[in-house]
């Protein structure tokens, strides 16, 4: 028998691809409290003593293990703030699955602010997946403000996949990174907004080590009266490579703003920014309608393909 009710299972599936107790190391947080935890021989999770949150320690040379740290909010009128620090040992290679889902049936705001800091030692490799989702029949807002702080040691690699699925009224996402020699940071974000929702993304990456690199890809869809902002700042202080790509589809009365900032402080810093904002091409809709789809169905298929 499942340890979660229907709402909890549904949200966990949405944000972390689990619907029951996961295998391996995990920490599940609900309404401001840790409700379930497991550690392994190579991964330890410790409650912080000075502020809400946890420290996750991954031993050196750990391979093919997964850490799940989902958060669930089912109460309105609360702001849950949590600080999670990840210490990844030398040459470790792990998958970390986070994410937050809010089920708000009240008339009050439910908000989660998650501050995650990554400390990767030499040669460490991490894939980090973070999904956000909101739902509920109440008029209360669903607010998510994730902050990610990245410190990459020599030859380390961090791949971040962030997704705002739907139902989030307001989100301000801040990501900053400092990269050492031969370190690499890959970021992929996907965002969908509708109604009067607002989403803002701020990236700041400092390429301090020789041959360090970053690639940031943002794809978003803004519908109805929603608005989005994308701000990226890449600073090349050594021989390095940086590439930022922002693509957005705008529909109805929505608005999208993209602001690139590139600072090359070394003659061998190669930094690129690309941005494209536009509506769905009419010929794409027409072509799909020839296969029997309605106009709305055709638009949905195009959006799904764009956000894949």
Q: What is the pLDDT of residues 5-33, one digit of tens each?
A: 899 999 999 999 987 888 899 999 999 99
Adjacent-strand bridge partners of 228:
199, 256
The widest CA-to-CA distance across the chain, in whole angstroms, is: 62
- Report, as an integer, the average pLDDT of 150-166: 96
Residue 73 is predicted with a pLDDT of 96
Q: Secondary structure of the chain: what % helix, strand, coil (to 5)?
A: 10, 55, 35
208-224: burial string, b at 16+ Cβ within 10 Å, e else:
bbebbbbbbebbbbbbe
Whether the predicted pLDDT of 135 surpasses 70: yes
Residue 2 is predicted with a pLDDT of 61
Alpha-carbon Rg for the chain, nearest whole angstrom, is: 20
- Report, as an integer, the average pLDDT of 265-278: 94
- φ/ψ of 254, rounded to 5, equals -75, 170
**Dist. CA 218–CA 246, nearest whole Å:** 5
DSSP strand E in 136-225: where?
Answer: 142-144, 147-152, 157-166, 170-179, 184-193, 198-207, 212-222
**Helix and strand counts by DSSP (H, E) for the chain:** 3, 22
Whether the predicted pLDDT of 1 surpasses 60: no
Residue 59 is predicted with a pLDDT of 98
pLDDT digit string, tens, across residues 70-121? 999 999 999 999 999 999 999 999 999 999 999 999 999 999 999 999 999 9
Whether the predicted pLDDT of 233 surpasses 70: yes
């Amino acid at each position: 028998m499942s340890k979660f009710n229907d709402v909890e299972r549904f949200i966990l599936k949405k944000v972390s691809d689990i619907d029951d107790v996961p295998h391996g190391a995990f920490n599940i947080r609900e309404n401001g409290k840790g409700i379930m935890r497991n550690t392994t021989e190579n991964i330890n999770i410790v409650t912080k003593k000075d502020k809400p949150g946890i420290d996750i320690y991954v031993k050196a040379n750990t391979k093919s293990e997964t850490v799940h740290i989902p958060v669930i909010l089912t109460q309105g009128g609360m702001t849950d703030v949590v600080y999670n620090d990840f210490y990844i040992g030398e040459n470790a290679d792990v998958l970390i699955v986070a994410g937050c889902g809010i089920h708000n049936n009240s008339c009050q705001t439910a908000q989660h602010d998650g501050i995650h800091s990554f400390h990767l030692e030499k040669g460490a490799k991490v894939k980090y997946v973070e999904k956000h989702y909101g739902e509920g029949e109440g008029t209360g807002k669903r607010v998510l403000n994730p902050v990610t702080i990245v410190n990459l040691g020599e030859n380390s690699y961090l791949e971040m996949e962030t997704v705002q699925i739907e139902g989030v009224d307001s989100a301000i996402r801040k990501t900053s990174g400092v990269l050492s020699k031969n370190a690499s940071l890959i970021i992929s974000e996907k965002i969908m907004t509708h109604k009067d929702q607002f989403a803002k993304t701020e990236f700041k990456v400092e390429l301090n080590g020789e041959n360090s690199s970053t690639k940031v890809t943002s794809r978003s869809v803004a519908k109805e009266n929603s608005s989005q902002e994308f701000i990226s700042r890449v600073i090349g202080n050594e021989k390095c490579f940086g590439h930022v790509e922002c693509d957005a589809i705008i529909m109805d009365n929505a608005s999208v703003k993209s602001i690139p900032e590139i600072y090359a402080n070394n003659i061998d810093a190669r930094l690129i920014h690309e941005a494209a904002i536009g509506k769905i091409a009419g010929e794409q809709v027409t072509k799909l309608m020839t296969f029997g789809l309605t106009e709305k169905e055709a638009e949905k298929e195009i959006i799904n393909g764009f956000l894949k």
